[in-house]
Amino acid sequence: MSWRIAFVSPSLGGLWAATVAGLGIGVQTPIGLPSSVGMLEAAGHGLPSSPSLGLMLRRSDRGPSPLVDDLAAAIRQALRETRDDAWLPP
């Protein structure tokens, strides 16, 4: 399948705006996806399926931090809400 890069931006918001404007499609996780950006089913559009993506949450070994604990919990919760089949340890 031939393709070309139609837009480049260091900003995720810029990439979403370009997608909404119809400049093309992108491969992104659904986390934080604005309602103005739709999701395509790969097979229904002649596209290959995306590979799985491994995520790892790393922490400093400086000792316990309530702020870091809260941030880690918020990240895990966002992933659980976004992906029904995501396996995340408690």
Residue 77: per-residue pLDDT:
86
> Tokens representing 90?
């408690």
pLDDT classification of 49: cutoffs 50, 70, 90? confident
For residue 83, name the pLDDT band (cuts at 50, 70, 90). low
Q: Which domain range does residue 64 map to?
A: 54-90
pLDDT of 54 > 50? The answer is yes
Are 9 and 15 a contacting pair, CB within 8 Å?
yes
82 plus 60 within the same structural domain? yes
- Same domain for 7 and 44, yes or no, is yes
pTM to 2 decimal places: 0.57
pLDDT higher than threshold 90 for residue 70: yes
pLDDT at 10 over 90: yes
The verdict on 61 and 25 lying in the same domain is no
Q: Which of 3, 37, 43, 32 is nearest to 17 (CA)?
A: 37
In total, how many domains does the chain have? 2
Residue 72 contacts residue 59 (beta carbons within 8 Å):
yes
Question: Above pLDDT 90, what percent of the chain?
Answer: 9
- Between CA 71 and CA 56 the distance in angstroms is 14
Query: Is 77 in the same domain as 39?
Result: no
Whether 44 and 60 map to the same domain: the answer is no
For the beta carbon of residue 10, count every other beta carbon within 10 angstroms.
6
Asked if 37 and 69 sit in the same domain, the reply is no
